Structure 1
Amino acid sequence: MNPITCAGVHFGYRHAPVVRGVDLAVRPGELVALLGTNGAGKTTTMDLLLGQRRPDAGTIRVLGRDPCADRRRLTAEVGVLPQESGCAPGLTVAETVRLWLRLHGRRDVHRATAALLTEVELTHRADLRAGRLSGGERRRLDLAVALTGRPRLLLLDEPTTGLDPQSRAHTWALLRALREQGVTILLTTHYLEEAEALADRIAIMDAGRVVFTGTLDEAGGPGSLATTFHRIAGQPR
């Protein structure tokens, strides 16, 4: 069973189509990078996978379940990093992580909090309120929250936006380690070098459709992704 399957998925706002027949499969233990220009439909596709919106047509299965009908059950198995941070600004970094660990029923709260903050390099910010973090630090806190449930599947919407090069490299190493542990990952990114560095396969969206899926070699090999992306994206459909 593939952790993610989309078949002929359509969705629109007030008769304006946004997702127009998306077909996408993500295999177990795979990291897939979803690329596309602004407005291509990436974030809406992520919302559909999360069950936050119901498709107008087509079928979506996440870990074998309908994400709308089984949204509560999937919460325990799917870690989510949205495009916009949802962390309460008045809580400290440590309080935020402890809260989400308790919501997931974790009993090892204090040990797990320390481990997660170490993983995202926020130990030195543990007692700082989330609202005082820099943009990159908030992104790292969002990632820690996404990991609190020990997820089988991660859905990450632009996970390294705002990170400095060192933090981005550390996050890449963490994502690679999670993939090696068997976690399946779908991420969106505007950084083509991020896709080249991390992805087992690449999917390119344009005008609401997935117009290319394949390995980096199938996209032209290392250093060729930018050429392939600009050749494919934005073409008349």
Structure 2
Amino acid sequence: MVLEIKSIKLIRNRQLLLNKFNLKLRKSQIIILVGDNGSGKSSLMDTILGLIKPEEGFIKIKNKNIEDLKDKIRNHILYIPHENGLKENLTIIENLRIWLSLVDKKISNYNLSEKLKYFDLYDFKDFPVRNLSHGQKRKVILSKLLLSDSYIWILDEPMNGLDTNSIKKLSRLIENFSESGGATLLSSHVNYKIKKANKIHLKKRKNNISRTQKFITWSEL
């Protein structure tokens, strides 16, 4: 088992999102969290990354508590948030170079450019990101999947903004990752089809509570 979530109770903005929530993600497994906005999908992912501390329960990565991993979480997980977070004045290559330096991965300019062909970004590699469409920007972020050595992928609404062909390519990439032993947890408010994927449906709760939650940012880890 690569990821275990046990009896999580999660509160955000005085709203009870999850209570006694359990999840086990195993090697080669794909799990899709399906639910409307506000059902707790993104908040659960933030909790896995250590950005939100749950009221109750624990999360382990390969039997180690996430609190003990701290900045080493990046060695285990590749996280693709629902927001692109690109630097608009920089090119595709420059944006990816920044991320590669953060994860301490070296790759030649030639190989990096070749990876961009998968999502049809090669011809735009030297364009400032501000000149790209929303879908193209999304594909820049998703290109990290082709460059990462992580064995767990956490993908928050990865299909948003993609055309039909790009969705098929992303689905195939996730399936290939699974076949190679990787584990993927992704969220969606749309019922996408990915081979051998298990689905967990989250429902939005209506009850408010009086307690508040402390948050930190990904950059603070």
Aligned to 1:142: 141
**Amino acid paired to 1:57:** E
Residues 60-71 of structure 1 aligned to structure 2 (within 5 Å): 60-71=59-70
TM-score w.r.t. structure 2 length?
0.85
Aligned to 2:12: 13
- RMSD over equivalenced CA pairs, Å: 1.8
Query: Number of matched residues?
Result: 205
TM-score w.r.t. structure 1 length?
0.79
Q: Give distance in 2, aligned partners of 1:66 and 1:131.
A: 39
Q: Give distance in 2, aligned partners of 1:190 and 1:199.
A: 19
User: 1:101–1:202: structure 2 CA closer, same or farther, 3 Å change rule?
Assistant: same
Displacement after TM superposition at 1:77 (Å): 2.2
- Contact 1:49 1:62 survives alignment (8 Å): no
Query: Is the counterpart of residue 155 in structure 1 residue 154 in structure 2?
Result: yes
Displacement after TM superposition at 1:91 (Å): 1.4
Relative contact order: is structure 1 or structure 2 higher (C-alpha 8 Å, sep ≥ 6)? 2
Displacement after TM superposition at 1:45 (Å): 0.4
Q: Give distance in 2, aligned partners of 1:189 and 1:204.
A: 10
Q: Which runs of 5+ in 1 are unaligned?
A: 209-237
Cα offsets for 1:32-89 (capped at 9, x unmatched): 1111122111111011011111111001112333334413111022111101112211
Aligned to 2:98: 99
Q: Give distance in 2, aligned partners of 1:52 and 1:146.
A: 21
Which segments of structure 1 move beyond 3 Å, counting only runs of 4 or more? 146-149
Decide which of 201, 204, 226 is 2:201's aligned counterpart.
204
Q: Give distance in 2, aligned partners of 1:63 and 1:202.
A: 22
Q: Give distance in 2, aligned partners of 1:63 and 1:127.
A: 39
Aligned to 1:124: 123
User: 1:132–1:199: structure 2 CA closer, same or farther, 3 Å change rule?
Assistant: farther
**Amino acid paired to 1:47:** D
- Contact 2:175 2:194 survives alignment (8 Å): no
Aligned to 2:87: 88
Q: Give distance in 1, aligned partners of 2:196 and 2:60.
A: 21
Q: Give distance in 2, aligned partners of 1:198 and 1:71.
A: 33
Q: Give distance in 2, aligned partners of 1:13 and 1:158.
A: 19
User: Which of 13-22 and 33-42 deviates more?
Assistant: 13-22
